[in-house]
Amino acid sequence: MDLKNVKLVLEDGTEFIGKSFGYEGCSAGEVVFNTAMTGYPESLTDPSYRGQLLVLTYPLIGNYGVPGANQEDNLFKFYESDQLHIDGLIISDYSEEYSHWNANESLGDWLKRNKVPGITGIDTRALTKILRERGAMMGKIVFEGEDIAFRDPNKENLVDQVSTKDVKIYGEGRHRVVLVDCGVKNNIIRNLIKRDVTVVRVPWNYNFLNEEYDGLFISNGPGDPKMCEATINHLKVAITQDKPIMGICLGNQLLSLASGANTYKLKYGHRSHNQPVLQVGTNRAFVTSQNHGFAIDNNTLSGDWEPYFINLNDGTNEGVRHKTKRIFSAQFHPEASSGPTDTEFLFDDFIRNIEAFKAE
């Protein structure tokens, strides 16, 4: 294959030259790295990656192709949302040839059709070392004779770009859960439906306080949590009430902000399938799937709130819970997809909380 040269430029001036295997157009965003060995179809369709140029450190990418757009329960079965969200893919060794039971096309063709640039032939481990040492950086993918300005997506309201515009209903379960969609991954909806839930998916800024529901769920999503002012304001009221609440990732940050805690940007984020977390107050540790660049400052959790999980690599917050109410959230992804399912029991805990609330 004769591939075009293309350049990755970091905001500190570092340049990497590789070959283009995706869409041939310039792109700019935040450069982030994920050290997982598999799961690129899921990562690329995860709305939390909006505005980011994704570096995969596992060297061989593309060898199992990309699944097709099969649907189940009104959701794409093998994607985490309806579209690709990354703004560029940066890898070491692209495999145009693929083989897998559900493969439908090559990764390169998928990127081209969806107008996402891809670079192969990059020393992704050297690039990752730079990001780890100097911290998260903006970057751009540029083709010869073309250029584009750097862009910090965290200054944009990315959640508004990815959230549903209309209220949508999934499943016909016994429990009615309002899901605040800040960029929800499909596997969160799948996990709720299979636990006898009717999911009422609402936009990030929707006033759900007047809705009838048994439980409230705050989804994952892209960007700086402080951009989600409307959701935080609604949550400030919801946490004074008695209905069970569960949050994941951005949802963990929004609940904490609503409780009065603060968030900050991590030096280079957690993105992998093997992040160890400790359940506070126990000796139980879990291996988790993660994708976040911001974190809650544990020291700012006040009065009724306490850390629920802590990251065993760097001690940062990985979840919070209310000391007396049925409210908890995880910074990692209990729904995984992709990644280990060790913490899926948190969905069962949420349902148990709903049942206890309904029985009162």
Ligand X SMILES: NC(=O)CC[C@H](N)C(=O)O
Binding residue numbers for L-glutamine: 48, 221, 223, 250, 253, 291, 293-294
Q: What are 132's two structure tokens?
A: 């780890």
- C-alpha to C-alpha distance for 10 and 33, rounded to whole angstroms: 13
What three-state secondary structure class fits 209?
Answer: helix
Q: Which one of the listed residues 175, 234, 292, 333 is annotated catalytic? A: 333
What tokens appear for 186 in the block? 């499909």
Considering the complex, what minimum distance in angstroms separates the CB of residue 339 from ligand X?
Answer: 12
Q: From the CB of 256, what's the least distance to ligand X, in Å?
A: 12
Q: Is 333 a catalytic residue?
A: yes
Number of shown-chain residues binding ligand X (CB under 6 A): 12
Check residue 291 for interaction with ligand X (CB under 6 A).
yes
Question: What span, in angstroms and rounded, lies between the C-alpha atoms of 337 and 262?
Answer: 28
DSSP one-letter code for 152 = -
User: Could you tell me which stretch among 207-215, 239-247, 287-295, 313-321 binds ligand X (CB under 6 A)?
Assistant: 287-295
The distance of Cα 340 from the centroid of its chain, to the nearest Å, equals 15
Residue type, 317: N
**Smallest gap from residue 308 Cβ to ligand X (A):** 16
The verdict on whether 335 is a catalytic residue reads: yes
List binding-site positions. Answer: 48, 221, 223, 250, 253, 291, 293-294
Find the binder of ligand X among 39, 139, 293, 339 (CB under 6 A). Answer: 293
Kindly state the smallest distance separating residue 295's Cβ from ligand X, in Å.
7
Q: Which of 48, 288, 316, 317 binds ligand X (CB under 6 A)?
A: 48
- Segment contacting ligand X by CB under 6 A, of 13-21, 112-120, 292-300, 317-325: 292-300
> Which of these ranges, 76-84, 102-110, 117-125, 289-297, lies near ligand X under the rule CB under 6 A?
289-297
Residue 117 or residue 222: which is nearer to ligand X going by CB?
Answer: 222
Q: Which of 30, 42, 318, 335 is an active site residue?
A: 335
Is 249 designated active site? Answer: yes
Closest CA to 343 of 263, 298, 252, 278: 278
Distance CA 45, CA 80 (A): 5
**Biggest CA-to-CA distance, the chain:** 68
* Catalytic residue chosen out of the listed positions 249, 270, 292, 318: 249
Instruction: State the DSSP string of 61-123.
Output: ESTT-EE---EETTEESSSSSSS---SEEE-SEE-S----TTEEE-HHHHHHHTT--EEES--
**Closest distance to ligand X from the beta carbon of 135 (Å):** 14
d(CA 74, CA 180): 18
Please pick, from the candidates 294, 305, 309, 347, the single residue that binds ligand X as defined by CB under 6 A.
294
Q: Binding pattern to ligand X, positions 313-332, x when CB under 6 A?
A: --------------------
Q: Write each residue from 210 to 239 as x if it is in contact with ligand X (CB under 6 A), else as -, in one continuous string.
A: ----------xxxx-x--------------
Of 220 and 353, nearer to ligand X (C-beta) is 220
Contacts with ligand X in 237-266 (CB under 6 A)?
A: 249-250
Strand duo 52-56 + 27-34: pairing:
parallel
Distance CA 210, CA 73 (A): 27
Q: Which CB atom, from 106 or from 263, has the smaller least distance to ligand X? A: 263
* Angle, helices 250-259/229-238, rounded to nearest 10 degrees: 60
Residues paired with 28 in a beta bridge: 140
Cβ neighbours of 138 (radius 10 Å): 20
Name every residue whose Cβ is closer than 8 Å to that of residue 12 and which is 6 or more positions away in sequence: 134, 137
Tell me which residues touch ligand X (CB under 6 A).
48, 220-223, 225, 249-250, 291-294
Active site positions, annotated? 249, 333, 335
